[in-house]
Amino acid sequence: MAKRQPNFICQSCGAVYNRWKGKCEACGGWNSIAEETGSASPLSGPVATRPSRAKGRIFPLEGLTGETKEAPRTPSGIAELDRVTGGGFVRGSVILLGGDPGIGKSTLLMQASAALAKKGHRVAYISGEEAVAQVRLRAERLGLADAPVELASETNVEDIVATLTQGRAPALAIIDSIQTMWTETVESAPGTVTQVRGSAQALIRFAKTSGTAVILVGHVTKDGQIAGPRVVEHMVDAVASFEGDTGHHFRILRSVKNRFGPTDEIGVFEMSDQGLREVSNPSELFLSGRDLAAPGTAVFAGMEGTRPVLVEMQALVAPSALGTPRRAVVGWDPSRLSMVLAVLEAHGGLRLGMHDVYLNVAGGLRITEPAADLAAAAALVSSLSGSPLPPDSVFFGELGLSGAIRPVAQAPARLKEAAKLGFSRAVSPVPRKEKGERQALATNAIGHITDLVAGIAAERPRQKAVPFRREG
Ligand code: TYD
Ligand code: MG
């Protein structure tokens, strides 16, 4: 009999080594490698159960054209959730839902389960983390205790699959969470990469054979990765992450990967004492509580997937007491801030080397679009100069290293949303080509960062010191 070799497996990326190392060469993680015994080659997943045969089965190969039915979907009726899944849960698909602990994953899934169950679908909610009584308490708190959801507190994948294949196949099965699951085909402890991968494989196989849509909950580590399940991400059909910070009430469900629908799409929810409430107009929420008279705030007309979202960017530029000034960013990419600061210095005539710079996206949204450059620059210039930006203006545009303002996609949608919310001006790049399209808003097209700085200086109501002093 072949001797079982211990394997050393990186718990964050799944790389396999034959001896222990302090640092994973594949992902660069420190102290992430742990010993696991189990199947000789963990990459092959659970040991194949098919008896070895001399010859393989012959299967027909097919062409690209042929009869394909539209993926049959089960909408949850929660519009913000259906928007992210692309119109409902696809039969036989597997979704990985990641998010920080306590962000509201179980709450969201309980609400989705109850909505589906109330429509007459069979829904199973398997919790590996909480006892049945705890899940019931949450359902009661959400006012959903009367929904016919089938509940269990189980962690063994074989038992779960055996139970769920009895009777009518469920339309939806929730596994909360994949890290607590274990399968008998793998010897490692629950929570290890091998177990997570083995359990996920078994559940994916169940989904494909039964037609049940399965949602796997995955925890996220400090650095934003779905722990262990980096290795699961490529096996599932869709990956969604539930974001937000616990200091704010609203939560964003973001589609990261979707084989059956759009990515970059977001659903916005608000956490209340009765669970998650849908927010159908996020711009209103992100702009509420705006301080119109304060310098350093600019409204960014952004896009999240197909949906325009207006959000306030706040900047604070203050003389630094330290040798090396601080740069702190919340909700935006720090390296983009460095770039915008460099462009403002090189081409805008601003001196920021002796100033601390703070940038914050109000409300806890995370912006990834380069189109936010212009809004960030406007907020920074406004804060440094002490002159508030006109409260009826929105900003968008990408900044080039030469100081040029580059056009961005979907300008008409951004302008339309801004007009809808009562804005009357947009500071934006010169559009690529006018197609005689009527614009929803008066645009103040600017081609270079100097135009922005000059524009803000001109807005400044008779004030004291000249803000753009050149030093040295
Ligand atoms: P939970 O869904 O348990 O988070 P996760 O599964 O992502 O770990 O939600 C936990 C938080 O949500 C908890 O701090 C309490 C809060 N919450 C509300 O504010 N209102 C509610 O109605 C519910 C059910 C939870
Ligand atoms: Mg939970």
Average pLDDT over residues 111-123: 94
State the pLDDT at residue 47. Answer: 46
Q: Is residue 249 in contact with ligand 1, taking CB distance under 6 Å?
A: no
Beta strands in 13-57 (DSSP E): 16-17, 33-36
Q: Which ligand is nearest to the CA of 177?
A: 2
Q: Position of tokens 């601003």?
A: 350
The pTM of this model reads: 0.78
333 with 313: CB under 8 angstroms? no
Name the residue of 107, 251, 269, 276 whose CB sits within 8 Å of the most ligand 1 atoms, as the mutation to test its pocket.
Answer: 107
Beta strands in 320-371 (DSSP E): 327-330, 355-361
Entry field: residues in the chain? 472
- Between CA 294 and CA 306 the distance in angstroms is 31
Check whether 345 has a pLDDT greater than 80: yes
Element (H, E) at 431: none
State the pLDDT at residue 137. Answer: 94
Q: Is residue 90 in contact with ligand 1, taking CB distance under 6 Å?
A: no
Distance from Cα 305 to the centre of ligand 2, integer Å:
27
- Between CA 400 and CA 450 the distance in angstroms is 13
Q: What is the residue-averaged pLDDT of the chain?
A: 86
- Between CA 203 and CA 216 the distance in angstroms is 9
Sequence-distant (6+) residues with CB within 8 A of 234 are: none
Distance from Cα 242 to the centre of ligand 2, integer Å:
12
- Between CA 35 and CA 11 the distance in angstroms is 10
State the pLDDT at residue 48. Answer: 47
32 with 10: CB under 8 angstroms? yes
228 with 242: CB under 8 angstroms? no
- Between CA 230 and CA 98 the distance in angstroms is 11
- Between CA 41 and CA 341 the distance in angstroms is 50
Band of the pLDDT at 380, cuts 50, 70, 90? Answer: very high
Beta strands in 56-170 (DSSP E): 73-74, 89-90, 94-99, 123-127, 150-153
State the pLDDT at residue 225. Answer: 52
